[in-house]
Chain A
């Protein structure tokens, strides 16, 4: 089979899926990469396996939604979308897997297809075509024509690659990087670096093959993947010596790229958010800075207080905020790391060294930066944690002094210490069929609060959040049994339930959301306990939620005058 065929790529993916050992998976992928002679095809193969139809930084998207390709597949197979396709998808927990099976099993779908070994290049052209089209009908026509030339296996992976989701073969981008390192005998660290810098796994593959990884260099105004923190598993870190502490702001993580008059801000998902925060742009340009990349947090800061995230929300997602909004919710960029300075990336330096540089810059250019604390005892950590909360912040970060900036990774060098935002007793209202590992079970649940005595509503319960975690496998199975008896309605993969089961729900925060019935949503809701001992009448009410929210907003916040969470030499 031709090394540049899409079928070959999908067979490789399937072989990786059917192997359990990570090393063997990497070896299979490495062999495949090595077998491809042309640079362009290697680029496509690595990109398809590691990133999706287009490189992350290209900004291009095929933009084909699940409903578009699912109805298209149902038409192709000549089956009823509602009556046949949907139950198939629910049973498998995956639309793409259902499509693969239907394409394989249904005679008429088989007869329509004559697989013709499309090349990687031809498949890339199809993705490109899809990205250029806007109407559903046009996109479906491209899909239909494309599928006619594919095997069922190719169709499944074609969809998964197109949707930029996981290929579900137990092999994520990190593993593709390892496979490149193995295939071309390059140091893993160098490959990872090149990937981070170029922002493209495809280009990284070509650099590996041509022995030119050193050509990959950091460029200003190309965002770096953020370093992420792990939750601290227990409060007991044996030895606090290697760590420093910083307060964890309740704001929006951001990366600022600055060079003289030019400023760009990127969000955690690497989107350009510069236009939402003109005063930050102005702040940086006014300081006549050298080329600089800062990692930090955007917070609403007013009258010597850091204000809650709920107020920052008024600024997020606005392309061009009005003067009024800017004055009402003024924001500040508080830096806590420096990743590039002058002509040199600094993310390879240990944190202590980066901090030294950050302090110097802060003094010289009057930039707000976090306050850093040496922690000696657990009692001290506890005290700092309580003070961070008093400041209105989320908690504490513990960072290893010797750690480099581990871009794009969530490891143990940064640890976050948080306290749950609160708990509510809620009622199970709907169960939704799970996908992936939870295929075949109802694993996502919509939970409601009581409004029975609330004159604003006619219902007894209204939804407050959707949780899909925090329970054990055993609890989920017990719930699934119980749900059977409580089901009153069925809407495709969703079951409407008699409100009977009470769940104690834990969450990080309460936010206003006008698009919901309750006007509030919970951030990161998860099961704390299934309260078999409580009745639905014991559930919390909407009034309780409103009270909790108001308490958060109105809470007294410790001013920044003494023991501040950040330093700002104005």
Chain B
């Protein structure tokens, strides 16, 4: 099976004329895993395949090209391959692309999370995979996540304690995916939420998909004090809620598991809530799938994963892609 990278953006199966998260228009079939900027097509002439939720989110983020919607686990046939999308548990709409052909099978993960984020369609995986193309964003044994139940409690406790002390809680969370996941965790509190405009415009897609985001409105500087606020770090640095003096800030990201983050961002609370799987899940998954070959992408530490896979007699290689940190 010939698997190549397409410059800094996307992966190609040239023999099958298939592209993954690819911006070019020269492949016959291009599949988009999810609506984060480093995976979305950057070309208005693109014609791609993706899930319906991914398409809705991409449209909200300005995608102007064409798209054909596929359902999860409903195979789609091309001349020489059968393609099936599997839910990736990363953000709403996120899909892994499974390709079966005479040359063998390929699973392209895009970004994924198992156990899946509760604000997604879940996580499922095919049984037989020859070539496993996996991201490995958190590919060191220093990364091991707490359960979503524990993380949800942490989020709710921080909000409740902060409100009880008469402060305004602010959650720093990426505006697509993490923001809505945090809102979903907060919904049982029944406390009004205000979210930065860039995240706000994604929210109704989540609600249409049946994910409860509680009571929320778009950020309003004049009335935001006393609400639970959701925004990104860069917006916070550019004056978001700067009129609210009594506020406490929590940063929700896999990177929050590092002590250095505390001083780099000057936040009150670090909540290591990631939309990527941790190192141990990754190794476990490789063991379970027993692919012919693991192709590792999106990581500064492919060597470490390879070292672990070597000791388990699993063949692997590093597919070097430019990764953008949007976690």
Contacts and interface: CB of A to CB of B under 8 A. Distances in A.
Instruction: Summarize A's interface: helix, strand, loop or mixed.
Output: helix
A561 interface: no
Contacts of B140: 84, 87-88, 91
Contacts of B280: 105
A456 interface: no
B102 interface: no
Nearest to B306: A83
A439 B260 contact: yes
A94 B257 CA distance: 13
A570 to B, nearest CB: 54
27 contacts: A17-B262, A18-B269, A80-B307, A83-B304, A84-B307, A87-B140, A87-B304, A88-B140, A91-B142, A91-B300, A91-B301, A92-B258, A92-B259, A93-B258, A97-B259, A98-B142, A101-B257, A104-B144, A105-B142, A105-B280, A106-B141, A168-B259, A435-B260, A436-B263, A437-B260, A438-B260, A439-B258
Contact of B304 (A84, A102, A436, A438): A84
A83 B301 CA distance: 10
Interface in B257-312: 257-260, 262-264, 266, 268-269, 279-280, 300-301, 303-304, 307
A168 B263 CA distance: 10
Interface string B229-265: 0000000000000000000000000000111101110
Contact of B142 (A17, A18, A92, A436): A92
Contacts of A93: 258, 260
A439 B143 CA distance: 15
Interface of A: 17-18, 20, 79-80, 83-84, 87-88, 91-94, 97-98, 101-102, 104-106, 168, 435-440
B263 A101 contact: no
Given A83-B307, A93-B258, 13 more contacts: A83-B303, A84-B307, A91-B300, A92-B258, A97-B259, A101-B142, A102-B142, A105-B279, A168-B259, A439-B258, A439-B259, A439-B264, A440-B264
A168 B140 CA distance: 23
A97 B263 CA distance: 15
Contacts of A105: 141-144, 279-280
Nearest to A98: B142
B141 A79 contact: yes
A384 B260 CA distance: 45
Contacts of B141: 79, 84, 88, 101-102, 105-106
Interface residues of B, number: 22
A101 B142 CA distance: 5
A436 B260 contact: yes
Nearest to A19: B268
A387 B259 CA distance: 49
A190 to B, nearest CB: 32
A79 B142 CA distance: 12
A420 to B, nearest CB: 28
A355 to B, nearest CB: 42
Contacts of A97: 258-259
Contacts of B142: 88, 91-92, 98, 101-102, 105
Interface of B: 140-144, 257-260, 262-264, 266, 268-269, 279-280, 300-301, 303-304, 307
Nearest to A97: B259
A440 B258 contact: yes
A436 B143 CA distance: 18
Contacts of B257: 101
Contacts of A91: 140, 142, 258, 300-301
Nearest to A77: B141
B166 to A, nearest CB: 15
Return the 4 tightest CB-CB contacts between A and B, nearest first.
A439-B260, A101-B142, A105-B144, A437-B263
A372 B260 CA distance: 46
A156 B263 CA distance: 18
B145 to A, nearest CB: 10
Nearest to A94: B259
A250 B296 CA distance: 56
B259 A87 contact: no
Contacts of B268: 18, 20
Nearest to B325: A440
A106 B278 CA distance: 13
Contacts of A106: 141
Contacts of A87: 140, 301, 303-304
Contacts of A98: 142
Contacts of A102: 141-142
A138 B30 CA distance: 60
A440 B327 CA distance: 15
Nearest to B300: A91
A101 B278 CA distance: 13
A80 B259 CA distance: 23
Interface centre among B140, B142, B304 (most CB of A within 10 A): B142
B260 A92 contact: yes
Contacts of B264: 437, 439-440
Contacts of B258: 91-93, 97, 439-440
**Residue among A84, A106, A168, A436 with most chain B CB within 10 A:** A84
Most A Cβ at <10 Å: residue of B260, B300, B307: B260
A168 B262 CA distance: 11
A17 B263 CA distance: 11
A203 to B, nearest CB: 31
A92 B260 CA distance: 7
A20 B266 CA distance: 8
Contacts of A18: 268-269
A407 B307 CA distance: 53
A439 B255 CA distance: 11
Contacts of B269: 18
B325 to A, nearest CB: 10
Contacts of A437: 260, 263-264
Contacts of B259: 17, 92, 94, 97, 168, 439
A124 to B, nearest CB: 26
A438 B301 CA distance: 19
Contacts of B262: 17
Contacts of A84: 140-141, 304, 307
Of the candidates B141, B280, B303, the one having the most CB atoms from chain A within 10 angstroms of its own CB is B141
A23 B259 CA distance: 21
A104 B279 CA distance: 14
Given A83-B307, A87-B301, A87-B303, A440 B260 contact: yes
B303 to A, nearest CB: 7
Contacts of A88: 140-142
A17 to B, nearest CB: 8
B164 to A, nearest CB: 16
A477 B69 CA distance: 39
Contacts of B144: 101, 104-105
A437 B266 CA distance: 10
Nearest to B280: A105
Nearest to B257: A101
A146 B264 CA distance: 33
B182 to A, nearest CB: 19
